[in-house]
Structure 1
Amino acid sequence: MAERPTTNWRHGIAEEAEELAAGTLDPECACMAALYPEELLATTDAALDAFEHELPGLGEASDEQVFAVVERFVLALNEVNDANNGGAFETDEREELCDFIDESLTEHGVDVVALTARHGLGRYQLTNKWRKW
């Protein structure tokens, strides 16, 4: 199963906290907790929950239905980003979220390459129409 980006971010926070506690990381170099405050993680997880809830059965769904699920998820992430002054998701986070979408759809039977090709898009352009982050 595709790993949620928030799982990775929480792991980084915990790892950094361990390094700080052990004295192996200079506190001035610690940034994970500031990059991923709990409210950001919680609201991103809520969007992920809703997306994951819609995944079963998408392998048999029409292109329009798959795009509608992706659109709802991307718009939810836009709201998370807006609530964080447009700075919730930087390049690494955007890539993780897009990879998560691709992997999740694929795991549920959606041929993302064929889907996007049928609509004149490259595989990694699936979210571009709605994405503001």
Structure 2
Amino acid sequence: MTERPTTSWCHGVAEEAAEIAAGTPHPECACMAGLFPEKLLTATDAVLDTFEDQLAELDGAGDEQVFAAVDRVVLTLNAVDDAHNVSAFETDEREELCDYIDQSLTEHGVDVVALTARHGLGRYQLTDRWRKW
């Protein structure tokens, strides 16, 4: 399964904490824990848990069902972003989340390129209809 973005975010937080404990970098230069507080990571993982549970239901699903799953995960991530002052997901995080959604769908048999083309969208516009982050 595609690695969740939160896995690398958690790794970055832990790595930076270890570096600070070892004396480098200076704690004032550290940013990972501020970018990815535990509450954000937990909330994002809960959204991705639900999305992953729904992926199993998409085997042989029609476009409407796939778009409904994308709608739900994106709107719920919007709520997570809103709860963090609309600054939880910066550019890199947005790209990672969109890529995760795309790859997860692909791994579950959804031809994202064909799906988006049938609806006059480019592949990387899959989440745009609902995404605020």
- The TM-score, its normalising length taken from structure 2, stands at 0.97
Superposed displacement of residue 80, structure 1 = 0.2
Corresponding position of 2:44: 44
Cα deviations by residue, 1:74-118 (Å, 9 ceiling, x for unpaired) = 000000011011001000000000000011000000000000000
Amino acid at match of 1:92: D
Corresponding position of 2:11: 11
The 5 A counterparts of 1:27-42 are 27-42=27-42
Percent sequence identity is 74
Cα deviations by residue, 1:45-85 (Å, 9 ceiling, x for unpaired) = 11001100000142410000000000000000000011011
* Distance in 2 separating the partners of 1:57 and 1:43: 23
Corresponding position of 2:73: 73
1:96 aligns with 2:112: no
* Distance in 1 separating the partners of 2:130 and 2:24: 42
Alignment coverage as a number of residue pairs: 133
Could you say what secondary structure the match of 1:60 adopts?
A: coil
Could you say what secondary structure the match of 2:121 adopts?
A: coil
* Distance in 1 separating the partners of 2:59 and 2:110: 5
- The TM-score, its normalising length taken from structure 1, stands at 0.97
Superposed displacement of residue 25, structure 1 = 1.3
Could you say what secondary structure the match of 2:127 adopts?
A: coil
Q: Is the 8 A contact 1:57 1:108 kept in 2?
A: no
* Distance in 1 separating the partners of 2:81 and 2:87: 6
List alignment gaps of at least 5 residues for structure 2. Answer: none
* Distance in 2 separating the partners of 1:16 and 1:59: 40
Superposed displacement of residue 22, structure 1 = 1.1
* Distance in 1 separating the partners of 2:102 and 2:119: 16
* Distance in 2 separating the partners of 1:103 and 1:96: 10
Corresponding position of 1:54: 54
Structure 1 consecutive aligned stretches of length 4 or more whose deviation exceeds 4 Å: none
* Distance in 2 separating the partners of 1:112 and 1:57: 16
Superposed displacement of residue 26, structure 1 = 1.7
The Cα RMSD (Å) is 0.8
